[in-house]
Structure 1
């Protein structure tokens, strides 16, 4: 008879977990997304049909490429359901069609302005060299976006993989609660 309180407690825990999972699944289906990286502010975001524009936060599937293969192996990005087995990434659009972008040792310039937190890092915390995207000033084409962090100097972003085609963007995401 001593097992009955334990069984009731375990049943309550199981019901609570099942309800939390069901709520999370409903939230995801409705457009809720959680960002746990420091590439954009950590928090809860909502997908939006807003147009992809400079300054917007976006969720995108990295295109299959050696830089993303290495990022996945090293744990810079997670595994997921995007082509190549990559997980979604969230970044801010810092340059779009018609913007002049240059990537150099001191950082990334958009239309001649040096972006904050944009100096490429030579190696990760484990001492492994990071991939480098180098480009003299070039104007982005109509479908190209430069996706980067504007809040973290250590983000794996466009300074390492270059411009992304806007077709990779899954949604614009808007912050609901961040910290």
Structure 2
């Protein structure tokens, strides 16, 4: 009698182990590539994000380098970030979106930072229990070369804590190529809004 379904596995355990090894090597190579790009050892038109502060995936440096609301940019780390990341680590690039432009009004309270009408909640501690200090309470206007950069996740370390970034701290505008993980839908919606504005 001929069975309608073949219940035998199509691949052996050895095949699965080989596939897992290839996947592991590919991930290690991507991480190494990302570190080399972030530290400036090599230059590439691509950036691989492996942090949870923005959707994980591959981004490409855009031909259009115009800074406008909701575009996504690579921001250079600076001395203000050392208190959070530590000075022992080599400088990295941070993936953020532009939430505030020169001339925008920034209102800082104990619970959030508002850029025009958009609210970005603040935290007192990181997920590791490290204290976080947001900007001093008050109303500020972004100067002609200042940009407020942020991300959707509340745990993103961004301008809520280290303040606006200067134009020369923004390395490039990027566009997503391949994304995965949490926050992809919100991220793509922001990116589409930026393209249409």
Q: Same fold (TM over 0.5)?
A: yes
Q: Give 1:39's match in structure 2, choosing from 53, 59, 79.
A: 53
| 2:103 corresponding residue in structure 1 | 98
How much has 1:102 moved relative to structure 2? 1.2
Partner Cα distance (1:114, 1:105) in 2: 16
User: Structure 1: which 4+ aligned runs deviate by more than 6 Å?
Assistant: none
Secondary structure at 1:71 match in 2: helix
TM-score of the pair, normalised by structure 2: 0.66
TM-score of the pair, normalised by structure 1: 0.72
| 1:89 corresponding residue in structure 2 | 94
How much has 1:131 moved relative to structure 2? 2.5
Whether the aligned pair in 1 keeps the contact of 2:111 and 2:123 (CA below 8 Å) is no
Q: How large is the Cα RMSD of the aligned pairs?
A: 2.6
Gaps of 5+ in 2: 1-21, 181-197
How many residues matched? 146
- Whether 1:73 aligns to 2:64 is no
| 2:79 corresponding residue in structure 1 | 64
Secondary structure at 1:79 match in 2: coil
Bigger CA drift: 102-111 or 125-134?
125-134
Whether the aligned pair in 1 keeps the contact of 2:112 and 2:121 (CA below 8 Å) is yes
Whether the aligned pair in 2 keeps the contact of 1:105 and 1:119 (CA below 8 Å) is no
Q: 1:39 to 1:127 in 2, by over 3 A?
A: closer
Whether the aligned pair in 1 keeps the contact of 2:96 and 2:150 (CA below 8 Å) is yes
Write out per-residue CA displacement over residues 148-179 of structure 1, whole angstroms, 9 at most, x where no aligned residue.
112x0111111111100011011101001112
- Whether 1:138 aligns to 2:140 is yes
Gaps of 5+ in 1: 1-12, 81-85
